[in-house]
Chain A
Amino acid sequence: MTTLTSNGLTRTPASPALTGWTSNLLGMATGFGILVLVWTVIAWRLGNAVLLPAPLAVLEGFSMLLRDGSLIADILASLKRVFVGFLIAAFIAVPLAMLLAYSQPLRRAVLPVINLIRPIPPIAWIPIAILWFGIGDKPSYFITAIAAFFPIFLNSFFGGQSVEDQHLNAAKCLGAGKRALVLRILFPSALPMIWTGMKIGLGQSWMAVVTAELIAAQSGLGYMIQVSRLNLETSHVLVGMVTIGVLGSLMTLMLGAVEGFILPWKQK
């Protein structure tokens, strides 16, 4: 079956989805192709593997680190820190945001404190984190939690505040008490915003873990980059950077994929 398009040409209706996919892939391949090409040319013109190793050298470094198992170990160490910190942040930020959105007295007391702490960047917490928790996983949990907390909290809070009076009134007329108002009305109203906050928070956490590991850890991708720099193994530094980029993008993709399960009513 063919359909008539606006410019008078005919095309099969089955193809758009396929064209969508293939053209996406094609576009992506072109983008990465140009990046690798430019990189290769610059590396070749520079001729200095310490300043900028060629993509091929990075690939070699990648396979070497993969074979000796150190890359996997570093990835796992970093992922663990991100997820633990992120979960701590989410479990504190979301309930706190819901309570503050619901209760004005609580909001008046707590919000100014949060606004005061918020502008402090996660990296500024590192010295304190090391003093409190030493070197290792714990300061990194702390830093990743700090990084994820504010985006999650702020989005959840605004989500909770944007609850419609009509929904609250309807729920009260149906016999809902305070607990039900928060859990069954305020929370699901805010859930789209909470989810947005979590996506941003996870990204922030992932960026913060590298910062934390540069200073406060002895494993993980950040630590690996730091050690490779000291050894002038720039190709390994780049392996670390590319891995961070790829894993970060994968996380975003994964969250996008499960969104339909979290917010089923937003599906068309």
Chain B
Amino acid sequence: MRQAPIHRKAGNPVRQRHEDKSKPLPRLVPVPVPREHARGNGRSGPGERAATLAADRGEAPRLLDGAIDITDVAVVFQRKSTRVVAVENVNVRIEPGEFVSLLGPSGCGKSTLLNAIGGMLAPTQGQISIDGRPVREPNARCGVVFQQHSLFPWMTALDNVAFGPEMLGHPAPKQIGRELLALVGLEKFAHSYPSQLSGGMQQRVGIARALATRPPVLLMDEPFGALDAQTRSIMQEELLKIWTAFRTTVVFVTHDVDEAIFLSDRVFVMRSAPGSIKEEIRVPLDRPRTPEIMLTDAFGDIRKRVKHLIREESLKVFASSTK
């Protein structure tokens, strides 16, 4: 499903490949760019790498922002007199338009890391930057889809989705809202309140809302964790379709092995207590993917390896807790 971007802006509707790397990347949505903009980190542009990735998948021009650099990040919580190291020593670069998963057992710090990328939590050490600009607090560069109950209950589905474009000063936020609701198949529920929607529908509205601002990065914190298995499988497929249309960088947190492999270009298996990246696993499966891919040997091999790593981790946690 290839879709023309929703944003009006006469003349140049598609995000163009950015040739001149000395200038800031072009944006369709007027995102307020904070001060830190001036201090780019001097890295080389993400262009070449992203282009190869896109070519691998045989896909058309892709957006060239949404690179995430995580450098030597640690997050420490101070609870009364005890220090809890939630995340440490994380060094990851995520390419523009890439789909990566953070996979690990509960309490391994994957959500903490995600919150740090979104600016909802400041890392105690190290730095996280998106497109060379350090993340300081939550802003419209990162769309976030939470596990559940994050829609504004006092707004209809349409108003929820239109909220972001409205905040960014878009002239026709409701129009965008309607188009995105149609994309997730919920145009008929535009005027329903979140409490009148099922869990799966709420998450679809949540995804539409996060995408309405066209963020270069989309963070998803176990977005399908509260759904039943059938709905979950359908939502995963839908998400891949939407992602193909939007080409945003996705960081997806889950503890479901199949989900992580099915969706991602790369899966980061996390180590617990303190949380860190145990191993990075590439998923060289062809796209577009359908659920049948889970029955193939290639998928099975990856699953076996990932499960082994996770089991190793879980056993370690289990052993240390029974000592």
* A and B pair up: yes
The chain A residues found within 8 Å of chain B, CB to CB, are 164, 166-167, 169-177, 180, 184-185, 188-189, 191, 263-265
Is B154 a contact partner of A175 (Cβ separation < 8 A)? no
Is A166 a contact partner of B149 (Cβ separation < 8 A)? yes
Is A170 a contact partner of B144 (Cβ separation < 8 A)? yes
Nearest 7 interchain pairs by C-beta: A174-B164, A172-B138, A175-B140, A175-B167, A188-B154, A265-B193, A175-B168
Q: Please give, as numbers and ranges, the residues of chain B lying within 8 Å of A173 by CB-CB distance.
A: 118, 138-140, 142-144, 210, 215
Known A170-B144, A172-B138, A173-B142; judge A265-B154 contact (CB<8 A): yes
Q: Please give, as numbers and ranges, the residues of chain A lying within 8 Å of B210 by CB-CB distance.
A: 173-174
Known A175-B32, A175-B139; judge A170-B213 contact (CB<8 A): no
Specify which of B31, B146, B167 is in contact with A166 (CB 8 Å cutoff): B146
B150 at interface (Cβ–Cβ under 8 A)? yes
B299 at interface (Cβ–Cβ under 8 A)? no
Report the Cα distance A174→B195, complex, angstroms: 21
Report the Cα distance A188→B163, complex, angstroms: 14
Is B209 a contact partner of A174 (Cβ separation < 8 A)? yes
Is A176 a contact partner of B153 (Cβ separation < 8 A)? no
Task: Give 7 pairs: A residue, B residue, CB < 8 Å, sorted on A.
Answer: A169-B120, A174-B168, A174-B212, A175-B31, A176-B163, A185-B152, A188-B155
Binary contact readout B124-156 vs A (1 if CB under 8 angstroms, 0 otherwise): 000000000000011110111010011011110
The chain B residues found within 8 Å of chain A, CB to CB, are 31-32, 118, 120, 137-140, 142-144, 146, 149-150, 152-155, 163-164, 167-168, 193-195, 209-210, 212-213, 215
Report the Cα distance A180→B164, complex, angstroms: 11
Known A174-B213, A191-B154, A265-B154; judge A180-B146 contact (CB<8 A): no
Is A169 a contact partner of B118 (Cβ separation < 8 A)? yes
Known A169-B120, A169-B138, A169-B144; judge A174-B154 contact (CB<8 A): no
Is A172 a contact partner of B213 (Cβ separation < 8 A)? no
Q: Which residue of A lies closest to B215 (CB)?
A: A173
Report the Cα distance A188→B150, complex, angstroms: 14
Report the Cα distance A176→B168, complex, angstroms: 8
Is A170 a contact partner of B154 (Cβ separation < 8 A)? no
Report the Cα distance A264→B31, complex, angstroms: 32
Q: Please give, as numbers and ranges, the residues of chain A lying within 8 Å of B195 by CB-CB distance.
A: 265
Known A172-B137, A173-B144, A173-B210; judge A167-B150 contact (CB<8 A): yes
Known A170-B144, A170-B146; judge A176-B193 contact (CB<8 A): no
Q: Please give, as numbers and ranges, the residues of chain B lying within 8 Å of A263 by CB-CB distance.
A: 154
Report the Cα distance A87→B143, complex, angstroms: 40
Specify which of A175, A177, A189, A264 is in contact with B213 (CB 8 Å cutoff): A175
Q: Which of B31, B152, B164, B195 has the most CB of A within 10 A?
A: B152
Is B167 a contact partner of A177 (Cβ separation < 8 A)? yes
B272 CB, nearest partner CB in chain A, Å: 24
B200 CB, nearest partner CB in chain A, Å: 18
Q: Please give, as numbers and ranges, the residues of chain B lying within 8 Å of A169 by CB-CB distance.
A: 118, 120, 138, 144
Report the Cα distance A189→B155, complex, angstroms: 11
Q: Please give, as numbers and ranges, the residues of chain A lying within 8 Å of B164 by CB-CB distance.
A: 174-175
Q: Please give, as numbers and ranges, the residues of chain A lying within 8 Å of B168 by CB-CB distance.
A: 174-175
Q: Please give, as numbers and ranges, the residues of chain A lying within 8 Å of B194 by CB-CB distance.
A: 265
Report the Cα distance A170→B207, complex, angstroms: 12
Q: Please give, as numbers and ranges, the residues of chain B lying within 8 Å of A185 by CB-CB distance.
A: 152
Known A175-B31, A175-B168, A184-B163; judge A265-B153 contact (CB<8 A): yes
A185 CB, nearest partner CB in chain B, Å: 7
B251 CB, nearest partner CB in chain A, Å: 13
Is A180 a contact partner of B193 (Cβ separation < 8 A)? no
Report the Cα distance A245→B198, complex, angstroms: 45
Report the Cα distance A174→B170, complex, angstroms: 12
Give 5 new A-B contacts, CB below 8 A, not counting A174-B164, A188-B155, A191-B154: A173-B140, A174-B209, A175-B31, A175-B139, A265-B194
Report the Cα distance A176→B146, complex, angstroms: 17
Is A166 a contact partner of B150 (Cβ separation < 8 A)? yes
Known A169-B144, A176-B167, A265-B195; judge A188-B152 contact (CB<8 A): yes
Q: Which residue of A lies closest to B138 (CB)?
A: A172
